[in-house]
C-alpha cells in the first residue's frame, strides 16, 4: 500500500517534528497507529493541565476534536487489519509454494493435519489479538484446557479441528453473510471453507446441515466459551462442567475404600468398593433470538455482538432448568428437581412454614461430614429464605449471614448464593423445597461442544401478520445435567402435614 501525500499539520512536537491530523486519504497502518498514540499523549496532557478543574473552552474544543479523530482512526485501523488478513489469504491460495507458510494457522487442510499441529495452531488462533479480541482471560483459559483434553468423553483434537475450520477467515466471512442474509452469495474460498466445516461436523456427529444450519464459530460458541466467571447462574458457577464431544457423559463414582488396622501377618479383609457408573445424557436446547442490530463487517465487533446474543438466552435457560427441572420433557435434571424426587435427601421443617434455627442445624448435621468439608460445599436458596435465615441472627449469631469482599454470603463458613428460581417463604403445609446444601462438584453439567444457528430473514407481528423490522436466529445445542451422587446433598422442605 503506497503512502498518501503529506498530511496537514496541526502543530509540532517538542522535537520540532510536525503533528499530523488524519482526516482522509489512505494513511498506512503504521501512520494510523502512530497518530493514535500521539492523540492519547495529547489528551493525557490536556487532562493533566486541567487537573481537578473543568476544561476551558479551548481545551474542550481540542479534546472533542482529538476524541473524534481517535474514533475515526480506530475504525480505519480495524478495516486495514482485516484487509491485510484477506490479502494474505489470497496470496496463500495464489502461491505456487508446495510447503504451507508456517506462520499461518489456516495454511493446511485441517482434515489432514496431525494432532500436534492441530493443537499448536488452534492455540495460536485462540490467542489471536484480533480474531479472539472479544474473549476474556477466563474464556481463553477454558478453550486452552479443552484443546488439551483427551479422555473418553472429550476429544480436544476434534474441538481443535472444529476451531480451525470455523475460525478460518473465509468461514468467518461466510458466517457473517449467513447471519445477515437469507440468500448469501459465497466466494469460492468461502464455499470451500463451508464444505470443510460440514465434514468436521460430520466427524463429530454435531447435527446435520440438511435444514440449513451453520456451525457457530468456536470462539463465539457459548457451549465452549461460556464460563462461571461470565455467568450470573450460581448453579453453573458451582457445578462440575464437562464439555464433551459425544452425546453422553460416562463417569465412575465410589464411596471409597474402607481401611483398618490389622495385626502383623494377619489377613486383610475384603474392602472392595462399590463402583457406580453414572451417565448424563445431553438433551437438545433451542432458542429463537430476535434482533434489530446492524450486522457489521468488522469481525471483532460482530463476534462480540454474536457472542452476547447467543450466550445470554442460553445462560438464562440453564439457570432455570438446572434449578427446577425434573428431567421430564427432554430436559436435563435440575439440582432441586432431582433432590426433591430423592426422599432420602430431604428433611422437613419442624413446624410448617416456619424456618427455625434447629432446622438449619439439623440439615447441616444430616449432610455427611465427608461432603461438608469439600471445597465446593455450599448452600443455596431464594432471597426470601435467605432473609428469613438472616433474621435468626438476632437470637443466634451463627445465622448472621456474612457478606465478604466478593459479595458472596456465607453460612457456617460455606458459600451461600441466592437462586430466586427456588421457592420463597411459604404459608401453611406443603412440600416446597426451601434450602439446599451439599458438594456441588457432585452435580454435573455436560455440554456437547458445538452450537448451530439458522437465519430467519423476517419476523412478523403475531396479531396483524405485518413485518416488525426484525430478523432472528434459531439456535440449538445439546446439554445434560444430573446429580451424579445425590447423597452429597441435603434439601430442607416445608412440612407436608
Helix, strand or coil, per DSSP, at residue 21: coil
Q: What is the DSSP string of 443-482?
A: EEEEEES--EEEEE---B-TTT--B-S-EEEEEEEEEEEE
The pLDDT value given to residue 257 = 60
The pLDDT value given to residue 98 = 42
List the domain boundaries for the chain. Answer: 9-90, 110-220
CA dihedral of residues 335, 340, 346, 347 (deg, nearest 10): 110
Measured distance CA(386)–CA(398) in Å, rounded = 13
The pLDDT value given to residue 400 = 81
The pLDDT value given to residue 333 = 95
| Angle 229-232-234 from CA coordinates, rounded to 5° | 90
Phi and psi at 448, nearest 5°, equal -75, 125
Q: Which parts of the chain register pLDDT below 50?
A: 1-10, 22-24, 95-101, 207-211
How much is the pTM? 0.69
The pLDDT value given to residue 82 = 80
The pLDDT value given to residue 395 = 86
The pLDDT value given to residue 364 = 97
- Convert 342-403 into a string of H (helix), E (strand) and C (coil): CHHHEEECCECCECCHHHHHHHHHHCCHHHHCCCCEEEEECHHHHHHHHHHHHCCHHHCCEE
The pLDDT value given to residue 212 = 52
Measured distance CA(354)–CA(388) in Å, rounded = 9
The pLDDT value given to residue 165 = 93
Measured distance CA(114)–CA(353) in Å, rounded = 62
The pLDDT value given to residue 29 = 78
First to last CA, the chain: 82
| Angle 74-75-77 from CA coordinates, rounded to 5° | 65
Element (H, E) at 250: strand 248-250
Measured distance CA(408)–CA(238) in Å, rounded = 13
The pLDDT value given to residue 339 = 93
The pLDDT value given to residue 229 = 54
Amino acid at each position: 500500500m503506497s503512502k498518501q501525500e503529506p498530511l496537514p499539520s496541526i502543530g509540532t512536537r517538542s522535537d520540532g517534528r510536525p503533528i499530523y491530523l488524519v482526516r482522509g486519504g489512505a494513511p498506512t497502518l503504521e501512520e494510523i497507529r502512530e497518530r493514535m498514540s500521539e492523540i492519547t499523549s495529547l489528551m493525557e496532557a490536556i487532562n493533566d493541565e486541567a487537573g481537578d478543574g473543568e476544561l476551558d473552552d479551548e481545551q474542550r474544543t481540542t479534546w472533542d476534536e482529538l476524541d473524534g479523530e481517535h474514533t475515526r482512526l480506530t475504525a480505519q485501523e480495524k478495516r486495514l487489519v482485516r484487509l491485510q488478513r484477506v490479502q494474505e489469504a489470497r496470496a496463500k491460495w495464489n502461491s505456487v509454494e508446495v510447503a504451507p507458510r508456517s506462520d499461518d494457522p489456516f495454511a493446511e487442510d485441517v482434515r489432514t493435519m496431525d494432532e500436534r499441529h492441530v493443537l499448536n495452531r488452534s492455540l495460536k488462533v485462540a490467542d489471536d489479538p484480533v480474531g479472539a479480541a472479544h474473549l476474556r482471560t477466563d474464556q481463553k483459559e477454558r478453550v486452552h484446557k479443552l484443546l488439551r483434553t483427551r479422555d473418553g468423553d472429550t476429544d480436544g483434537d476434534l474441538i481443535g479441528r472444529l476451531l480451525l475450520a470455523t475460525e478460518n477467515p473465509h468461514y468467518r466471512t461466510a458466517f457473517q453473510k449467513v447471519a445477515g442474509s437469507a440468500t448469501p452469495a459465497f466466494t469460492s474460498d468461502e464455499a470451500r471453507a463451508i464444505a470443510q466445516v460440514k465434514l468436521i461436523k460430520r466427524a463429530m456427529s454435531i447435527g446435520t446441515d440438511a435444514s440449513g444450519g451453520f456451525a457457530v464459530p468456536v470462539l463465539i460458541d457459548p457451549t465452549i466459551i461460556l464460563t462461571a466467571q461470565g455467568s450470573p447462574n450460581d448453579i453453573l458457577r458451582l457445578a462440575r462442567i464437562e464439555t464433551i464431544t459425544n452425546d453422553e457423559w460416562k463417569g465412575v463414582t465410589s464411596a471409597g475404600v474402607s481401611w483398618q488396622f490389622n495385626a502383623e501377618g494377619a489377613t486383610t479383609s475384603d474392602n472392595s468398593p462399590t463402583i457406580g457408573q453414572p451417565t448424563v445424557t445431553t438433551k437438545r436446547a433451542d432458542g429463537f433470538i430476535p434482533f434489530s442490530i446492524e450486522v457489521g463487517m468488522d469481525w471483532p465487533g460482530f463476534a462480540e455482538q454474536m457472542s452476547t446474543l447467543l450466550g445470554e438466552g442460553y445462560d438464562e435457560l440453564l439457570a432455570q432448568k438446572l434449578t427446577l427441572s425434573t428431567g421430564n420433557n427432554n430436559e436435563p435434571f435440575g439440582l432441586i428437581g432431582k433432590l426433591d424426587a430423592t426422599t432420602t435427601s430431604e428433611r422437613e421443617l419442624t413446624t410448617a412454614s416456619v424456618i427455625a434455627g434447629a432446622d438449619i442445624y439439623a440439615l447441616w448435621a444430616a449432610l455427611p461430614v465427608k461432603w461438608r468439608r469439600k471445597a465446593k460445599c455450599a448452600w443455596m436458596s431464594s432471597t426470601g429464605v435467605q432473609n428469613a435465615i438472616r433474621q435468626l441472627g438476632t437470637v443466634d449469631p451463627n445465622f448472621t449471614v456474612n457478606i465478604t469482599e466478593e459479595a458472596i454470603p456465607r453460612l457456617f463458613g460455606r458459600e451461600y448464593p441466592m437462586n430466586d428460581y427456588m421457592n420463597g417463604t411459604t404459608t401453611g403445609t406443603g412440600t416446597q423445597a426451601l434450602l439446599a446444601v451439599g458438594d456441588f462438584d457432585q452435580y454435573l453439567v455436560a455440554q456437547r461442544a458445538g452450537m448451530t444457528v439458522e437465519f430467519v430473514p423476517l419476523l412478523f407481528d403475531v396479531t396483524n401478520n405485518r413485518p416488525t423490522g426484525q430478523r432472528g436466529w434459531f439456535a440449538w445445542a445439546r446439554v445434560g445435567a444430573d446429580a451424579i451422587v445425590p447423597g452429597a446433598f441435603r434439601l430442607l422442605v416445608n412440612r407436608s402435614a
